[in-house]
Copies of this chain bind each other. A is one copy, B any other.
Amino acid sequence: MIDGGGGPALLRRINESTVLARLHRAGPLRLGDLSDRTELSRQTIAQVVASLVDDGLVEYVEDDQSGRRSPGRPARLVRLRPDAAHVVGIDIGPHRTLAVVADLTGRIVAEDRGDSSRLHSSDEMLAHVRTQVNETLARGGVDPGTVRAVGVGTPGIVEAEHGVVVRAPDMPGWTSIDLADRLRPAVGCPVMVENDVNLAVLAERWRGDGPDAGIVVAVQWGSRVGAGILVGDRLLRGAHGAAGEVGFLPAAQGPPIGAATLGPFERRVGTTAIAELANDDATPDDPASATLTAARAGDPTALRVIDTVAARFVEGLAPLVLILDPDLVVIGGGVVRAGPPLLEAIERHLHGRTLVRPTLALSTLGDHAVAFGAARLALDEVERRLFTVR
């Protein structure tokens, strides 16, 4: 469709996006290199860059390396301005909230933790989140006007396209809430909503152990158990947004689905089950903590509990591996504090239960995974708008 439509405005937008995308991929470049790599003329590049500098999207910096190598005036490089745009990623949970702010390069410039355990309605939760976003931006010295997208992670089944929480039994007043619509006026930019476990797998690909391609599964394993599944660049959400609900996998013992809030599998392996196995002095928010920490330190009793629960966990992990054949399974959530002994026990019990083996790893993202994934989701939206022509 070369001879139809378009005109100078479209051409300028295409060229600007081409330059921004190239700088995003390659990092700072000289004008000449930018011309070579984009196959745009030197004159066109100069015009495009001048316009982008005016818009505050790119800036000139000195090339330190050339300065060291050769005498005279150092060459100038063009780069994306990291502070040209920001995103906010928020992890909303029934007990706590975590907000992070990232710049255009993905660097986290501020974070803020909040306590949501005493909020009793969606209105209270939304007010809490709005305040937290503003406080996090202020903490990072970030102009709210530079925030171009906000990503939100929430428990439950989410209709991502419209930013609606379809079902969230753990959160009071949260079912059927139109979360994107409710937050958008306060932040003045697009709001993307996604299931928290789905965001954890985006974070693992981005900042954790996830490779560039293939199938990555992030299992969040705490009092509940769920899995986010990434196939290439695409979240596997499922027909009803219910893919990866491994907490409801059939278990050897226990009542069927529907008889309790927890699913059969998570009742069998979750932190409450671990606390019961250990006769742990459980706290409601954080059962099994003492046992998990003791296992990491090599305590024999705690290690036996970990071994039992690892064997149970493999009853659910084996079907997941046989069905998906993932490249990588990252285990996150509260159980991670048991450390290498847990991973070793899972590896051992998985032996002989599958045809092929994924790489298994414990998440290194701690409780940042969901907020990081929310920031990544928002960055994807910003990059899509800045770096591609629609």
Contacts and interface: CB of A to CB of B under 8 A. Distances in A.
Nearest to A39: B4
Contacts of A257: 352-355
A382 interface: no
Given A231-B234, A232-B234, A240-B325, A4 B38 contact: yes
A15 B2 contact: yes
A244 interface: yes
A323 B323 contact: yes
A356 B239 contact: yes
Nearest to A357: B240
B250 A353 contact: yes
Contacts of A18: 1
Contact of A325 (B1, B234, B239, B325): B239
Contacts of A39: 1, 3-5
A246 B41 CA distance: 56
Given A232-B234, A243-B323, 18 more contacts: A3-B15, A3-B39, A3-B40, A3-B41, A4-B41, A215-B238, A234-B234, A238-B326, A239-B325, A239-B356, A240-B325, A241-B325, A245-B322, A248-B322, A250-B318, A250-B353, A256-B353, A319-B319
List the 10 closest A-B pairs by CB distance, nearest first: A238-B325, A4-B39, A239-B327, A243-B325, A319-B319, A240-B356, A242-B325, A242-B356, A256-B352, A1-B39
